[in-house]
Amino acid sequence: MKTNISEVIIGCMSWGKWGRQFSTQEMSELLHFCLEEGITTFDHADIYGDYTTEADFGKALTKSNIEREKIQLISKCGIQYNCETRKNTIKHYNYAKEYIIWSVEQSLKNLQTDYLDVLLLHRPSPLMHPDEISEAVLKLQEDGKIIDFGVSNFMPSQINLVNSKCEVSVNQIEFSLTEHTAMHNGTLDQMLMNKIQPMSWSPLGSVFREATEQTNRIKEVLVVLAKKYNASEAQILLAWICKHPSKCIPVIGTTNKDRIKKAKSATKIELELEDWFALLVASQGHKVP
């Protein structure tokens, strides 16, 4: 990757209509706070807030007077969402050359910036064609509208398809202690082998959202490890992700300043080997083979 991504990425999905509904001033203050903590990368998608959150963020970015070069902006395109702001009759995907270019230009306008540091295709489409995607990506890069290109939620074969025509630098996937399929289906192996940067959305998984046999087992181990490492349980979960050799970067959705600060600190926690496996065993409910 050409882009220098921070150790933790701030996911902005809940900043607007789909969550906290922050004012321009509140967004601006949170931007400054993140930078003060050394977190400089912000993750968007065109669909967030029914296609409204990017524009809300763009106003806040302008108000903040933060120099564009001091932050990195990620956005995604491709999902056609059926909502009031689009005339779609059904949710679907569109990876036509003209649509990708148009979508990026809309994101740039909304975010009030000249370029995206990273553009991601949001989810794979059964109708996507690598030639058409490549033509769009190369045009956007030649025009200076995007720097790096990647995908999100793609399996290895789908990455190979796109990568056959243009370089894929990133794959943003769901990866956590409760959703670690990517460790077993070749997704993380492929990224490590091909130097593709993994990013993890929902990095805390379902540990704090659900009370199941799995999460109960995990919490028993977390209590012990949190005390051992003098850390919060959420920090231990993030440290578990960061220990994977692919160097996966967590995308955190919290807007709580204390949690943001602790998330940044979690990247410095080095779990001992047996502690890492103790968490995996707790998640799986059985010892490793």
| 48 part of the active site | yes
Give the Cα separation of 83 and 42 in Å (integer). Answer: 24
Bridge partners of 251?
Answer: 9, 201
Residues in CB range of 5: below 8 A, 6 or more apart: 41, 72, 117, 118, 197, 249
Q: Which of 48, 51, 93, 95 is catalytic?
A: 48
Which two three-digit tokens encode residue 185?
């289906």
Strand pairing report for 92-93 and 116-121: unpaired
Angle at 88 between CA 144 and CA 107, to 5 degrees: 20
- The single residue listed with the structure tokens 């010892």 is 287
Residue 145: what residue type? K
Cα separation, 8 vs 203, whole angstroms: 11
CA distances from 94 to 48, 99, 106 (A): 16, 7, 15
Active site residues: 48
